[in-house]
Amino acid sequence: MYRLLIIDDEEIITDSLYEVFCRFMPEQLDVCKAYSGKEALDWMRRTRIDIVLTDIAMPGMNGLELMEKIHTYWPRCRIIFLTGHSNFEYAYRAIQENGVRYLLKTEGYDKVTETVNDVMSELKRQTKDSSLLEKSREQLYAYEFMIQGNYIRHLLSDSKTVCIQNEIMVEFQKLNITLDATKNVYVVLGRLSIPEEKSYLEITEYLSSVRTIIDNHFTGNIRCISIVDKYGDILSLIQPEPDAEEILGQYILPYLEGTLEIIQEESLNTLGLKILFTVSGEGTAWQGVTRTYERLRQLLQQNIGDSIPMILRDSNNQDFENIRNERIDLTNRIEILSSHLETNRQEDFHKELEGIVSEVQDTNVFQMTETYFSIAIVIYSYINRIGWQNRIENIEKLLRLDDHISILEGFYYLKEIADKVFDVKQTDEQDRASLIVERICRYIEMNLREDLSLVKLAEIHYFNPSYLSYFFKQETGMNLSEYIEKCRIRKSKELLSQGELKIREISTAVGYNAAHSFTRFFKKVTGKTPKEYRDSLY
């Protein structure tokens, strides 16, 4: 989804364009509006902006001055100047900039929507072209990727101990790790929805391609190193460049999330892969990287749904100090099984368990007993850590092999308990989704006169904007903008039927600052003006 920001100091123009584009491509284009350059910069700091449609001559900060600021925050943003000025100097200065177009207001809505559509097509082509460059870089990165990955995985195992050593800065230099070992780092963990039938080689190529996409987008203002962790997820360690720290400042997280949205879209368009990202809510010292990484992994497991391309931010409200205090040394097969349980991959868990049971049946009773308890401890530890002891029935036999008629019967029991865990997780995901949708709907109904932009709703409900749109449509079957429109129409009819408020007052109550905009909206939906509707009731 692309994000369009409309800017004009004349409210009637801004509101009219906003209404046009809200209905233009609701599933592909999220629309925001601002009435000044200052308000536009506030949007830039809050979220990623892909296209700006702006007037040139505005009080306080004109469009050309704003253009320089926009490219400071979002270098890839495209700008369309829509103005009444036919002055050659304005046009000449505008067309000298890459990604900038110039339109006269007299050219009409059709020309404006056509231009925005063309710009969206350009952005898609740019994504496709950049993927070709990325492929040529993959082999160059392969060896460096391997050695850097080994070191970062070593650091992840116990960053507190590793980072006490003075050699960390020297090791960074030797391995061409451009991050600063003396400054805090942001941690991003991404999970790819790779189809089950893909081979090991294909999976490796996918991971390499996504790593290249990430590195390609985190350039300029950002330093980044990405590796694949032992669970097959992509971990990125990120810092702002020294000369960009002041520019990004407290807006580093919206910048990261906006860039991750682009990475998600490019991965989906070029590789056909969805990516779920979790992001640390603040920079962390290198000694705390392991704990932050564990938090992000836990957050990854608590996502709503499966393989949905959302971005979750770690709020740092949860206490993970006691997570996995007792670590168990498992065989590689058991560790894979544990990973499937953690990542909610029920079919993969079944296949791996069946494979283990099939192999262990040909061994002696001691090996079978060891294997049983290894799997039982994985399941038991997971239930205990999540706190589901009272939600999973009949778990008392997990650590009592003698309670089973045979060891083989014990393995069947392990599968049953694991299935109960998957069922509880699925129920929780559905309940959590229903509660979130209910909360969003209730907020919209109670705040119709307030800002109900996708970005604002995402901030209030701790979502990523693009994911909120995707999630709401998935859960309700309608676009968020459609629901808001229905609420506004329903409330408008209710207020009109009471006959106490003026049309202008009702307009404000349902979120329209201009009465003429409200009248146009109401008539388009109902076929009547507000006055005609009120008169028809009496």
User: What are the residue boundaries of the structural domains of the chain, listed by start?
Assistant: 2-123, 158-313, 332-429, 447-536
Query: Can you give the pLDDT at residue 166?
Result: 57
Query: Can you give the pLDDT at residue 446?
Result: 93
What is the residue whose two structure tokens read 């559905």?
430
Of 89 and 243, the one with more pLDDT: 243
Helices (H), 185-275: 200-217, 245-248, 252-271
Query: Can you give the pLDDT at residue 304?
Result: 47
**pLDDT of 329 above 50:** no
Per-residue model confidence as pLDDT tens digits over 248-285: 777 888 888 889 999 998 998 889 888 989 999 889 99
Per-residue model confidence as pLDDT tens digits over 330-351: 456 788 888 888 888 888 899 8
Residue 537: DSSP 8-state: T
Most confidently modeled range among 9-13, 68-72, 142-146: 9-13
Amino acid at 262: I
Q: How many contiguous H segments (helices) and E segments (strands) does the chain have?
A: 21, 10
Query: Can you give the pLDDT at residue 379?
Result: 92
CA–CA dist 169, 54 (Å, integer): 46
CA–CA dist 196, 138 (Å, integer): 23
Burial 18-56 (b: 16+ CB within 10 A, else e): bbbbbebbbeebbbbbbbbbeebbebbebbbbbbbbbbb
Per-residue model confidence as pLDDT tens digits over 513-531: 888 889 988 998 999 999 9
Spatial neighbors of 122 by CB under 8 A, at least 6 apart, are 78
Are 235 and 152 spatial neighbours (Cβ–Cβ below 8 Å)?
Answer: yes
Query: What is the DSSP track for 151-190?
Result: HHHHHHH-HHHHTTSTTHHHHHHHTT--S-TTS-BEEEEE
Query: Can you give the pLDDT at residue 139?
Result: 56
Query: What is the DSSP track for 385-421?
Result: HHT-TTTSTT-TTTT-GGGSSSHHHHHHHHHHHHHHH
Sign of CA dihedral 499, 505, 508, 514: positive
Q: Which long-range contacts (CB under 8 A, 24 or more apart) does 500-509 make?
A: 503/530, 503/531, 506/530, 508/449, 509/448, 509/449
Sign of CA dihedral 102, 107, 111, 112: positive
CATH class, domain 2-123, is alpha beta
Query: What is the DSSP track for 474-501?
Result: HHHSS-HHHHHHHHHHHHHHHHHHH--S
Are 449 and 511 spatial neighbours (Cβ–Cβ below 8 Å)?
Answer: yes
Query: Can you give the pLDDT at residue 145?
Result: 64
What band does 140 get if pLDDT is binned at 50, 70 and 90? low
Query: Can you give the pLDDT at residue 448?
Result: 92
Are 466 and 261 spatial neighbours (Cβ–Cβ below 8 Å)?
Answer: yes
Crossing angle, helix 200-217 and helix 252-271, to 10 degrees? Answer: 140
What mean pLDDT is predicted for residues 436-443? 90
**pLDDT of 495 above 70:** yes
SS3 35: coil
- 118 half-sphere exposure, CB direction, 13 A CA radius: 11
Query: Can you give the pLDDT at residue 322?
Result: 37
Per-residue model confidence as pLDDT tens digits over 20-40: 898 888 888 999 999 998 999
Are 90 and 56 spatial neighbours (Cβ–Cβ below 8 Å)?
Answer: yes
Least confident range from 114-123, 202-211, 255-264, 464-473: namely 464-473
Helices (H), 23-107: 37-46, 63-73, 88-95
Burial 446-462 (b: 16+ CB within 10 A, else e): eebeeebbbbbbbbeee
**pLDDT of 192 above 50:** yes
Sign of CA dihedral 439, 445, 447, 450: positive
Residue 136: DSSP 8-state: H
Q: How many residues would you count in the chain?
A: 538
**pLDDT of 116 above 90:** yes
SS3 18: helix
Percent of the chain with pLDDT over 70: 88
Of 422 and 466, the one with more pLDDT: 422
What band does 143 get if pLDDT is binned at 50, 70 and 90? low
Percent of the chain with pLDDT over 90: 20
Query: Can you give the pLDDT at residue 303?
Result: 57
Of 3 and 96, the one with more pLDDT: 3
Selection from 420, 440, 210 nearest residue 309 by Cα: 210
**pLDDT of 126 above 70:** yes
What is the residue whose two structure tokens read 């020294």?
242
* Burial of residue 533, with CB atoms counted within 10 A of its CB: 0-12 exposed, 13-18 middle, 19 or more buried: middle
Query: What backbone torsions phi and psi does residue 479 show, to the nearest 5 degrees?
Result: -70, 150
Q: Which CATH architecture has domain 447-536?
A: Orthogonal Bundle (1.10)
What band does 401 get if pLDDT is binned at 50, 70 and 90? confident
Angle of CA points 507, 512, 518, to nearest 5°: 65
**pLDDT of 490 above 90:** yes
Amino acid at 63: G
Are 79 and 52 spatial neighbours (Cβ–Cβ below 8 Å)?
Answer: yes
Spatial neighbors of 191 by CB under 8 A, at least 6 apart, are 233, 234, 275, 276, 300, 343
- State whether CATH 3.30.70.1230 applies to domain 158-313: yes
Query: Can you give the pLDDT at residue 190?
Result: 92
What mean pLDDT is predicted for residues 279-301? 85
Query: Can you give the pLDDT at residue 137?
Result: 57
